[in-house]
Structure 1
């Protein structure tokens, strides 16, 4: 019997029941998958927070993220003139950020920054859906997390795990810090390249200004670099940087931070940089900064900051601890000093090179070939190249041979660095031809050093002619002889002495083995001179007579009280400056006269603070009475004569028409009207040129010469201190006087109330007179 077929309605119900089961299964599967995804995501976040994918920062690390902070050198007028660093990062507070910089950052990097709590859900979803083609999802907080705690990765899988870590850290950062603090930390952390780490360094290096002074278009450039500072670097790819800047400006307009008209105006502006590198050989006060670094190296050893976990002494690290060194240098005066030095030395070098064309032994004079060879070999022995090769285990033979092998190098010139090929030996000859210089400027009353120029270019000439170099001082030593005689014998500038030659016998007053008979540079020995004219004209025989009367011992004692630490032999010839002294010592000693006979030790560093502003060091002034106010004032009166009728008279008139100074001294005549005391100095063979000059509240010394004494001008016309050194002083002081904010004195020197020595010599006739003209010789 055939089976009966099921009714159709029954079949449909069975089919419908199966479809329903499938839907239920699909829904169950979806929710299971969704729940599993949520569970897996939560698990990933939990694992990341537990450190399964890599060590996570502790609460203390989130509270105080560790960054290497550069030590800042802050000038007396509040300008950062240099840094010591492993990473050139100088932190800035949120209050010091211009609002348009913050707006540009938020508009470009994280438009919903103020709305999310570390993770931008909309941005993250968009990134997943479009696989990043319509922008990434990293918030500012996530980018900060990456910079602070995660870093780079080797492959995509690691990067995904790091991304999860960044999400976790970002949310923790949001709980720990305010939005303003996160922005500040992010901008302080980012590496803008070219030693510009953090917004403060980047602003100074790329635009020569502090963040608060950035224009909108400049802020847009730096914000644009945040995407990729290597790709969007204005020094390497200015065209694409400008396009990127305009993108930032568009974003600011899109989110209402900038109007369309203002945006369009800013987009028309060219990309304008003021690149100011901050390497140790770059920027301002380079020689002074090296002095500070050397001083700090000693200070940190003598001042440990505490004990570490093992009980050992822990020392400050000037490259990482973010110290602030407050110095006496005035950034404006330092700038003027460097400009004056560069202006004069470039012209002086041009004249020197011109005269050297006919010199077969250039740049050396008055020495033979064996002496030249000794100079070159001495330079080889002290060279950085030799030291490096010795550290690499090279033999002396290999080292010497290497100095005769041509190599690529970048050398200094007054027109800019030159890439060339030459042997290291030839480079020594090349650098020997350059004249060197030093300048130091100091406030006599406080001891504060306001300007310090140790040479013409620190990168290529690292020897500091302010603090390291001791050179023969020549006639600049004579005021010490006069001051001692005035202090002991109460001499007046009006007292007269014969110009005739004098011989100081062997064994007398410090002459050890032979008689000493100094000569006058002009060969004139007749007649009489008062002391004021004698010093003004730097007459050697008159100075020798003073030395014969008082002896070298009290002079040396006086100079030592004035802060000179270099060795000074007690011999008669020191009267004419046969001794080698440092420029820093000379400025300190001359400042004693301007400070009414009181020596104040030069001060370079006033205080040191840690990164939290705690004062770690405070300088204590060091002063002592050296000579009476009367003797100091009378000596000043003598030195004023130098600038009125002596070798310093061109301060009143400018370059003399008797000589061709057009290649050496530029600009208009100096024509100073105010009281100036000073003394020039020129040593034998014109090897050293000096000028020491001061006004009541500023003493400045300048030295110019060759690296070796055999490098010098052929004649005294260009080789004297009045031509080599004085113009730098004059140019510097002109710039200082032009800046009224500096308050450099133009007043007369303060006259002691109880002055008993006559200083007005108008009743006496000028130089060249003799006793027959009614002038009484001061009898010894």
Structure 2
């Protein structure tokens, strides 16, 4: 009894001592214990995601890849695998597992090693959110007390959900949702049993024992997880056998990008960092929904790249990358090793020439595949000499290639062909005419080659793309589409630039007095200069500023009339949008809305809309008109402060149909900068740029500069303008229909390099482009291809003359009224009150009535 009493006393003493030690430990660490209630509102670090307007993932930014999931979204077998592996009694204990603690303590006493931490899932949550991973007794004590507090604050499902979303699982994947994507490219509900077991086994050594880095070790861990599931009766023997014998199918999967559009995603990333700061932008799980249409974006990318390839090929082949061998061929493994050191770019792949026959060649790619280059993929490759000169067309494959050369090849959608990395640059952007939404944007041939966004950052000379704005100024004043302007050499020079500047036509041909419509359609230089002289430089600059151009970019001399200002493609598209929408300057924007990690909308675009408020109702909103993008260039401010205008809905019932659209779109009224009538008249003239005029059967037909765009076969609703600068350093094509405005630019990043010219190639296509590069030949085909695809299947929208427009029949030579109805006459549009009142006389000559400086002799 004495020994028993002593044992009881010792036990009670040790118990009291233990309780005291625990109490002491608790009060010792209490000041350092965080408030576990913060877990109820914890915001897991989730990457920034950029989407198209139709929900396609464009890009993802952030160090940690995480796809938060709800408890109900996790398959039961994956939950079983995790619990059987990490904490089999999770739903039974209160945060700590006494059995596990005793087991770990026994191992520590007998071996002296801390081989088992005895941490429950709740303890791991405590450690993951509040503590470090260092193995110290004080950390363990804190972990235990935090686990007990967490169990009181959260439900078991909430704790397990935090664990499933928080755990690091290797390869930057945090949480089971991200792991399923990173290793298998799947959603959780698509995982197989062996894949779930593999993921469940990752927390022990996510970096060293994942199936990508160490497949053997990962399989052993997976099979151990499966054995635990079998032991716990969560799978059958047959399931265990099949899963444990399953091969490793894991491989690295990047973010599941649905639409590769790097230039627009970089714009969105930059915007989010500017507004929210780098850390918040990358970790708070924001979802940015842009205005980009995935279909239009793909069309724009294809059109730009195909157009660049076409320019590059017609200027000739610049030769191989290197010579891999001369006499003694390398083994295939050696060739592949060398090829792997050269990156591919936009489908342009490095290859080695294995053999050359009469009109074909065999090449080996870096992936080990052999491909045949037939004559159709080789015959383009005449020698490049300079940007203005090419060699003779090749007749044999040996004129182009030698065995052992390292070259580039690509598949053009039809066959494999010899290729090269283009040196020329290009950019394109398209806008919605009604609200300025950017529907597609491509800032260059390849983001991998250059991250410079030429749509928003490259200021290039505008060339003849400026002429519609020059003529719009005259139409707003007192001219008409039928006004005759002297198409004759200019002999009075402009000396504002310090030299005697005398513009010439290109080609240097002059036709005497010519109607304004024809002068714009044929891009006649001297007529544009005379139009500028008529309105004056200051008035013209004032108009250009209204169209959104920066006054600092507008020279105060007559070169303005031929496009000497340097502007960005986005500025050009925005200005052309004014003609497409009836005279309104709508601000371009590219972010429709932003949501937080929980799907709540935190920003909503408030675009300017191309319509005027009804006169009888005054609508006032609290919309902040400040730009959301605080960038120096005013035209880089493409997204407003994204405020709601829900208060405007209360007056919607009293508005007419057009105004209702504006209110329903949460928009603000755009400023009307030119009259609807002027916008209509310029649009009609820009249709002549494509379709020309006259009667070809009578010998009076003529082409506009963009006649190649007639292949779109949309005679009634497309309009556009070519643009070429001196020495063809910049080429443009800008055009629109009522639903879409688009601008294409092509040039070299080196401002001093000319686009050159090409000679006719005997073995080329019948519709090949040759001669000097220009807007119609160089940028125009890209625009044509894009708009042809973008408008395919959409209805044609014939222009409806607005109120105040009349149509009268005029004599084509004099612009006066006529009673004739033959090929010498045509109907022309006028603003009511400006139509001619005098009828042409049969003997009258056009030279009597041209508009010009009376002191200037026509043929001097």
TM-score w.r.t. the length of structure 1 is: 0.68
From 259, 267, 272, the counterpart of 1:291: 267
Unaligned runs of 5+ in 1: 1-20, 302-314, 358-408, 419-430, 654-669
Does residue 546 of structure 1 match 2:534?
no
**1:230 partner SS:** coil
Measured in 2, the distance between the counterparts of 1:686 and 1:33 equals 100
Tell me the CA shift for residue 708 of structure 1. Answer: 1.0
Measured in 1, the distance between the counterparts of 2:302 and 2:88 equals 47
Does structure 2 conserve the Cα–Cα contact (< 8 Å) formed by 1:675 and 1:746? Answer: no
Measured in 2, the distance between the counterparts of 1:106 and 1:633 equals 71
Tell me: CA distance 1:289–1:123, structure 2 relative to 1, closer, same or farther (3 Å): same
Measured in 1, the distance between the counterparts of 2:312 and 2:469 equals 32
State the match for 1:679 in structure 2: 721
From 509, 525, 539, the counterpart of 1:524: 509
Written as runs of structure 1 = structure 2, the 5 A alignment for 1:222-241 is: 222-233=199-210, 235-237=212-214
Does residue 483 of structure 1 match 2:462?
no
Written as runs of structure 1 = structure 2, the 5 A alignment for 1:533-682 is: 533-565=518-550, 567-607=553-593, 613=600, 615=602, 618-619=642-643, 621=668, 623-644=670-691, 646-653=704-711, 675-682=717-724
Is the deviation greater in 38-47 or in 482-491?
38-47
Tell me the CA shift for residue 476 of structure 1. Answer: 1.6
Does residue 354 of structure 1 match 2:317?
yes
State the match for 2:488 in structure 1: 501
Measured in 2, the distance between the counterparts of 1:491 and 1:215 equals 73
Does structure 2 conserve the Cα–Cα contact (< 8 Å) formed by 1:194 and 1:277? Answer: no
State the match for 2:779 in structure 1: 725
Measured in 2, the distance between the counterparts of 1:646 and 1:453 equals 28
Measured in 2, the distance between the counterparts of 1:211 and 1:544 equals 67
Does structure 2 conserve the Cα–Cα contact (< 8 Å) formed by 1:81 and 1:331? Answer: no
Tell me the CA shift for residue 475 of structure 1. Answer: 1.9
Determine which structure has the larger helix proportion and give its number: 1
**1:518 partner SS:** coil
State the match for 2:253 in structure 1: 275
Tell me: CA distance 1:609–1:351, structure 2 relative to 1, closer, same or farther (3 Å): same
Task: State the Cα RMSD in Å.
Answer: 5.0
State the match for 1:375 in structure 2: none
State the match for 2:743 in structure 1: 701
State the match for 1:329 in structure 2: 292
Tell me: CA distance 1:575–1:410, structure 2 relative to 1, closer, same or farther (3 Å): same
Tell me: CA distance 1:79–1:39, structure 2 relative to 1, closer, same or farther (3 Å): farther
State the match for 1:152 in structure 2: 133
**2:731 partner SS:** strand
Tell me: CA distance 1:143–1:337, structure 2 relative to 1, closer, same or farther (3 Å): farther
Measured in 1, the distance between the counterparts of 2:845 and 2:10 equals 118
Tell me: CA distance 1:714–1:184, structure 2 relative to 1, closer, same or farther (3 Å): same
Q: Deviations over 1:238-265 (max 9, x none)?
A: 6766776677677778767778679959
Tell me the CA shift for residue 276 of structure 1. Answer: 2.7
Measured in 1, the distance between the counterparts of 2:234 and 2:842 equals 90
Tell me the CA shift for residue 585 of structure 1. Answer: 1.0
Measured in 2, the distance between the counterparts of 1:186 and 1:275 equals 23
Does structure 2 conserve the Cα–Cα contact (< 8 Å) formed by 1:252 and 1:258? Answer: yes
Q: Deviations over 1:391-424 (max 9, x none)?
A: xxxxxxxxxxxxxxxxxx9988556799xxxxxx
State the match for 1:304 in structure 2: none
Measured in 2, the distance between the counterparts of 1:694 and 1:239 equals 60
**1:147 partner SS:** helix
**1:681 partner SS:** strand
From 115, 121, 125, the counterpart of 1:140: 121
The count of residues paired between Structure 1 and Structure 2 equals 648
**1:226 partner SS:** helix
Q: Deviations over 1:196-244 (max 9, x none)?
A: 4445655666666776777777666654543433134455456766776
Measured in 2, the distance between the counterparts of 1:295 and 1:746 equals 36
Determine which structure has the larger strand proportion and give its number: 2
Tell me the CA shift for residue 448 of structure 1. Answer: 1.7
Measured in 1, the distance between the counterparts of 2:85 and 2:589 equals 48
Tell me: CA distance 1:257–1:335, structure 2 relative to 1, closer, same or farther (3 Å): farther
Tell me the CA shift for residue 580 of structure 1. Answer: 0.3
Q: Deviations over 1:614-662 (max 9, x none)?
A: 7365346462001122221222222233344545444454xxxxxxxxx
**1:521 partner SS:** coil
Tell me the CA shift for residue 602 of structure 1. Answer: 1.1
Written as runs of structure 1 = structure 2, the 5 A alignment for 1:364-513 is: 413-414=345-346, 434-458=423-447, 460-489=449-478, 491-492=480-481, 500-503=487-490, 505-506=492-493, 513=498
Tell me the CA shift for residue 291 of structure 1. Answer: 3.4
State the match for 1:117 in structure 2: 94
Is the deviation greater in 123-132 or in 471-480?
123-132
**2:682 partner SS:** helix
Written as runs of structure 1 = structure 2, the 5 A alignment for 1:179-194 is: 179-194=156-171
Measured in 1, the distance between the counterparts of 2:292 and 2:789 equals 16
Measured in 1, the distance between the counterparts of 2:716 and 2:88 equals 62
Written as runs of structure 1 = structure 2, the 5 A alignment for 1:257-268 is: 264=242
Unaligned runs of 5+ in 2: 321-340, 351-419, 604-640, 644-666, 692-702, 759-769, 813-820, 827-840, 852-860
Measured in 2, the distance between the counterparts of 1:52 and 1:580 equals 67
Tell me the CA shift for residue 598 of structure 1. Answer: 0.8
**2:553 partner SS:** coil
Measured in 1, the distance between the counterparts of 2:704 and 2:280 equals 52
